[in-house]
A and B are shown apart, each in its own frame.
Chain A
Amino acid sequence: MMEYVRKASGAIEASLGVGSSTALVLTFLVILISIYATLHIFQVVSGSGIRPRRSRGNAALLLGPCGSGKTAVFFRLRDGEEVQTVSSLSPARDSFEIKAGEAPLLALARAFLLPVVPGCSSCIMLPQADQKLGPLEVVDFPGHLRMRGKANDMVKEARCIIYLVDAEDKPKLKDVAEHFYELFTHPDVLELHTPIMVACNKSDLTSARTEKFIVRGLDRVEEIEREIEQMRVSRGYLGVDGEKFKLTEHAPCPIQTCRISAKKNQLEPLYNFLLEQFA
């Protein structure tokens, strides 16, 4: 390599009549520029439809409104630790291994998943304690409405989406429904059928009333569905005419629902979901 550079610079030196150091620099420049150009061309070529069919990305994308606990879940998944957070201003993304068995056994025993989809495999599957996953890329995307556009752009990079909802924050459900509507009519979701796990977070806050608790989780999903139902009129067609909108049936992509708690580190449904998606 150096040999070649020296030879080339010699040639430049001779032909242009410049000093040898300048010539050397020039040669380096030429090389750099050509590398740059090659890469550039490569980028353009690979970006312009030579790829056969678009496929999903490779990241697990955390979405959901402000304060639903995305950042909390992100660090729980990564380090198993609890962190202090403020509202995120930009995405946090990292590749890491997920060890599904880290959660306390007691938590494992409890079945958190709402059996909304009969026969949904992850509902019954309990994670093996030693099962490892990844490393896989997880992205925590800020929930602020102003970032919505960018969040939707991220969909094409996602293998699957974990959509967090604060089970206690009822007023936000309108926003959630609106976001689902955007996602369900988003060209990327329509084309890629990106699977979504709707996870009702902060279930620890209502855990005292165990029986009611499950009903409440369902409540939230139903509430979202009611809101979507309303939007079908204002925004046009989604779902099946004459039928009430059901998330798990009428969405253009596979949807599951579950309850979790980042605070209590009860995230088994998410581990299972990720295992399923990244198997």
Chain B
Amino acid sequence: MIDAFYIFTKGGLLLWSTQLVKVKGNPLDRLIKEVLLEERVGETFANIDAYNLKWKLLNEMDIFFVVVYQGILQMAYLEGLLAMVAKEFVQHVGNSFGNGLTIKHVDFDQDFLRCRQRADKDLKEARRQGGMRSFADTKKGAEVQKTREEKGLPATSSKKGKSGGADDKDEDDEDDADASKVAEARGKLGAKSKAKKEADPATAEKPKKGKEARHWDGGKVSKSLMQELDFSKNKPDDDADLAAKQAEFLGSGDENFDAEVESLSSGSEDEAKDTGEQEQEQGRVGGLFKSLTRGVKNLTGGAVLGEEDLEPILKKFKTELMTRNVAAEVADKLSDSVRRSLVGKTTGRFTTMASTVKQALKESMETLLTPKKSIDVLRAALAAKNAGRVYTIVFLGVNGVGKSTNLAKVAYYLKHKGGLNVLICACDTFRAGAVEQLKTHSRCLDVPLFERGYGKDPADIAKNAIAHAKSNGHDVVLVDTAGRMQDNEPLMRALAKLVAINTPDLVLFVGEALVGNDAIDQVTKFNRSLVDLSADPRNPRGIDGMLLTKYDTVDDKVGAALSMVYVTGQPVVFVGTGQKYTHLRKMQAKEVVRTLLG
């Protein structure tokens, strides 16, 4: 049965609540802070701690109804209960509700009891009519059963539907389409392909493994190969070459680094442009005569937004977002969220529906792009220094996205802006020339390099580097890792090990902002692998932030930033905007949103 029920306003008033069973922790608070405030209103189900939460938002009044329960309950029952309570509640408060600030508490105990009894009765009724339907008998249950069988998981026994034991949670999730949406949004966008892989990881991986892969897993590399890889030996240093390289990366010196990285939150300069802006009504004249009042209201404001009004407008925005490289799923989710937050609302005075939608979308995206935690790497590194700790950043990503180059930029930034003593650690022990590339940067930057050549275990090298840094007075260690494909499980496992052993302060995913690029898939799978393969499953460690490279080449197609933030829930810490060391910036949420909405 249900554990608790809450009714509260968006403004933060708890109008009424009941706990039928004492709720441990504060799942409601987490729901608000981690789901509802994260622009994921498109969803209506979440699994938090040991609890399942299902909710309903009444847009007309800005009220949330949340039911908290454990184990399994039929979604139809919950939805019925929520709808009933919502209806009863609206009747109870009547017109006195006003702007939502007059009523601060509602005596709702009796009403709630009635609703619950009715919902329970309905449930019993349904059960009796359909005979005693256990979970596996229901249509959805059968589906789950099927997918389970396909996945090679043991089929659920049909008696499970009755008792709501803790281990049934799994089915419950699958039972509910919304639940899978939640999971999907948080890094399971590639769930389908993952499920396939799960079916039999061994067979799925093996055939793909070519000759190359063998160098990798055992960490055994033949001597000749190592010599081959270590081509630094037959390439003596060349000072002229160094000077040329330095010129290449450092530029002519006229660049103002501070101005570039330090594009503080002065987003309000262009604000005037934004506020004065009003949506042009397009193609609305045709509908004007058909639904005169509606049209006029749309023009003058005061129209109540219905599903059917929002659909075409949202569709237009969705297409626009997708042409700017926002992933289709993300554009979908965003517009779902906006739709849910707008249906039933009344447009403001002299605002059209289109501009209302645009405003909601804009706010929604801005919120999404505003980091929920500090991303001031320099400050964190300085704080670590003050506390006598070495600050470690691990850079990871697929091949060729610019990991090393951007690592060098971060080194430059920390060294010059923060006066920090940086150590670069070469943990790409596989790709030929990787260590040399870092050597070049190390010389140009005048930052020491910690390397152990090729073929060694990267996790160990990183560990040694951190120890070395501690004893030699370095403040920061930047760990470069080998690029790898997101589907390569052994390699991802090695990465998870590196992270687990060294517990870096920041796990930074490096990806390209390019169009048609599968950066979303990459970041989702990197994150998932890290979490799934974590040494300590209770405290999994995923990606903490992202660095988007080649940001200067995408014009208005900055959608990758939005998509990646959406799927990971993590912020973009830096964007790379060119080849030089100074080409590193902090991303501006407002700027991105302005670009995306044209």
A: residues with CB less than 8 A from B are 25, 29, 32-33, 36, 39-40, 43-44, 47-48, 66, 71, 75, 78-79, 81, 83-92, 94, 140, 142, 144-150, 152-153, 156, 174-175, 178, 182, 185-188, 230-231, 233-236
Q: Closest Cβ of chain B: how far from A36's Cβ, in Å?
A: 6
Beta-carbon contact of B374 and A175 below 8 Å: yes
Beta-carbon contact of B268 and A84 below 8 Å: no
B14 within 8 A of A: yes
Secondary structure call for the A interface:
helix
Beta-carbon contact of A89 and B418 below 8 Å: no
Could you tell me the distance between the alpha carbons of A71 and B267 in the complex, rounded to whole angstroms? 28
Beta-carbon contact of B300 and A32 below 8 Å: yes
Could you tell me the distance between the alpha carbons of A62 and B456 in the complex, rounded to whole angstroms? 56
Q: Closest Cβ of chain B: how far from A15's Cβ, in Å?
A: 18
Beta-carbon contact of A87 and B372 below 8 Å: no
Beta-carbon contact of A178 and B299 below 8 Å: no
B238-246, B303-311, B376-384, B441-449 - interface stretch: B376-384
A66 — which chain B residues lie within 8 A by C-beta? 33
B253 within 8 A of A: no
A182 — which chain B residues lie within 8 A by C-beta? 265
Q: Closest Cβ of chain B: how far from A48's Cβ, in Å?
A: 7
Beta-carbon contact of A230 and B379 below 8 Å: yes
Beta-carbon contact of A86 and B12 below 8 Å: yes
Which residues of B, 524-573, contact A by the 8 Å Cβ criterion?
Answer: none
Beta-carbon contact of A174 and B374 below 8 Å: yes
- Among B14, B37, B99, B264, the residue within 8 A (CB) of A89 is B37
Beta-carbon contact of B14 and A146 below 8 Å: no
Beta-carbon contact of B12 and A89 below 8 Å: yes
B317 within 8 A of A: no
Q: Closest Cβ of chain B: how far from A247's Cβ, in Å?
A: 18
- Among B276, B368, B376, the residue within 8 A (CB) of A231 is B376
Known contacts being A145-B372, A234-B376, A235-B379, is A87 close to B62, with CB within 8 Å? no
Could you tell me the distance between the alpha carbons of A88 and B262 in the complex, rounded to whole angstroms? 31
Provide 5 A-B residue pairs closer than 8 Å at the C-beta atoms, listed in order of the A residue: A32-B299, A47-B275, A83-B105, A84-B17, A89-B64
- Among B33, B37, B268, B418, the residue within 8 A (CB) of A187 is B268
B505 within 8 A of A: no
- Among B10, B350, B368, the residue within 8 A (CB) of A39 is B350
Could you tell me the distance between the alpha carbons of A82 and B266 in the complex, rounded to whole angstroms? 38
Beta-carbon contact of A84 and B276 below 8 Å: no
Output the nearest chain A residue to B367 by Cβ-Cβ distance: A146
Output the nearest chain B residue to A82 by Cβ-Cβ distance: B104
Beta-carbon contact of B33 and A87 below 8 Å: yes
- Among A36, A149, A156, the residue within 8 A (CB) of B366 is A149
Q: Which of A39, A44, A48, A233 has the most CB of B within 10 A?
A: A233
One digit per residue, 1 when the CB lies within 8 angstroms of any chain A CB and 0 when it does not, for chain B 349-377 equals 01000000000000100111011111010
Known contacts being A148-B370, A186-B268, is A178 close to B376, with CB within 8 Å? yes
B382 — which chain A residues lie within 8 A by C-beta? 230, 233-234
Output the nearest chain A residue to B264 by Cβ-Cβ distance: A185
B13 within 8 A of A: yes
Beta-carbon contact of B296 and A29 below 8 Å: yes
Could you tell me the distance between the alpha carbons of A185 and B64 in the complex, rounded to whole angstroms? 36
Q: Which of B105, B275, B367, B378 has the most CB of A within 10 A?
A: B367
B105 — which chain A residues lie within 8 A by C-beta? 83-84
B38 within 8 A of A: yes
Q: Give the number of chain B interface residues (Cβ < 8 Å).
A: 62
Output the nearest chain B residue to A87 by Cβ-Cβ distance: B32
Known contacts being A149-B367, A231-B376, A235-B379, is A89 close to B36, with CB within 8 Å? yes
Beta-carbon contact of A25 and B292 below 8 Å: yes
A147 — which chain B residues lie within 8 A by C-beta? 37, 367, 370
B258 — which chain A residues lie within 8 A by C-beta? 236
Beta-carbon contact of A86 and B101 below 8 Å: no
B: residues with CB less than 8 A from A are 6, 8, 10-14, 17, 28-29, 32-33, 36-39, 62, 64, 99-101, 104-105, 258, 262, 264-269, 271-272, 275-276, 278, 288, 292, 296, 299-300, 350, 363, 366-368, 370-374, 376, 378-379, 382-383, 386, 417-419, 589-590
Q: Closest Cβ of chain A: how far from B41's Cβ, in Å?
A: 9
Q: Closest Cβ of chain B: how far from A95's Cβ, in Å?
A: 11
Beta-carbon contact of A149 and B372 below 8 Å: no
Output the nearest chain A residue to B62 by Cβ-Cβ distance: A90
A75 — which chain B residues lie within 8 A by C-beta? 13, 104
Output the nearest chain A residue to B268 by Cβ-Cβ distance: A187
- Among B13, B371, B590, the residue within 8 A (CB) of A145 is B371
A231 — which chain B residues lie within 8 A by C-beta? 376, 379
* 3 A-B pairs with least C-beta separation: A88-B12, A92-B11, A234-B378
Beta-carbon contact of A149 and B12 below 8 Å: no
Could you tell me the distance between the alpha carbons of A230 and B417 in the complex, rounded to whole angstroms? 13
Output the nearest chain A residue to B32 by Cβ-Cβ distance: A87
Beta-carbon contact of A83 and B13 below 8 Å: yes
Beta-carbon contact of B37 and A144 below 8 Å: yes
A32 — which chain B residues lie within 8 A by C-beta? 296, 299-300
B36 — which chain A residues lie within 8 A by C-beta? 89
Could you tell me the distance between the alpha carbons of A78 and B11 in the complex, rounded to whole angstroms? 14
Q: Closest Cβ of chain A: how far from B252's Cβ, in Å?
A: 24
Given contacts A25-B292, A188-B268, could you give 12 more A-B pairs where the C-beta distance is less than 8 Å?
Answer: A29-B288, A32-B296, A33-B299, A36-B350, A89-B11, A92-B12, A145-B373, A149-B265, A149-B367, A175-B374, A187-B266, A233-B378
Could you tell me the distance between the alpha carbons of A58 and B269 in the complex, rounded to whole angstroms? 21
A92 — which chain B residues lie within 8 A by C-beta? 11-12, 100-101
Could you tell me the distance between the alpha carbons of A149 and B278 in the complex, rounded to whole angstroms? 21
Q: Closest Cβ of chain B: how far from A261's Cβ, in Å?
A: 19
Could you tell me the distance between the alpha carbons of A188 and B265 in the complex, rounded to whole angstroms? 11
Known contacts being A149-B267, A178-B376, is A230 close to B386, with CB within 8 Å? yes
Could you tell me the distance between the alpha carbons of A187 and B265 in the complex, rounded to whole angstroms? 9
Q: Closest Cβ of chain A: how far from B146's Cβ, in Å?
A: 39
Beta-carbon contact of B374 and A178 below 8 Å: yes
Could you tell me the distance between the alpha carbons of A147 and B366 in the complex, rounded to whole angstroms? 9
A230 — which chain B residues lie within 8 A by C-beta? 379, 382-383, 386
Could you tell me the distance between the alpha carbons of A163 and B269 in the complex, rounded to whole angstroms? 24
Beta-carbon contact of A233 and B29 below 8 Å: no
Beta-carbon contact of A150 and B300 below 8 Å: no
B372 — which chain A residues lie within 8 A by C-beta? 144-146
Beta-carbon contact of A43 and B370 below 8 Å: no
Could you tell me the distance between the alpha carbons of A71 and B100 in the complex, rounded to whole angstroms? 13
Could you tell me the distance between the alpha carbons of A230 and B418 in the complex, rounded to whole angstroms? 11
B418 — which chain A residues lie within 8 A by C-beta? 233-234
Output the nearest chain A residue to B271 by Cβ-Cβ distance: A153
Beta-carbon contact of A86 and B589 below 8 Å: no
Could you tell me the distance between the alpha carbons of A66 and B26 in the complex, rounded to whole angstroms? 14
Known contacts being A230-B386, A233-B418, A236-B262, is A145 close to B370, with CB within 8 Å? yes
Q: Closest Cβ of chain B: how far from A101's Cβ, in Å?
A: 22
Output the nearest chain A residue to B101 by Cβ-Cβ distance: A94
Could you tell me the distance between the alpha carbons of A230 and B376 in the complex, rounded to whole angstroms? 11
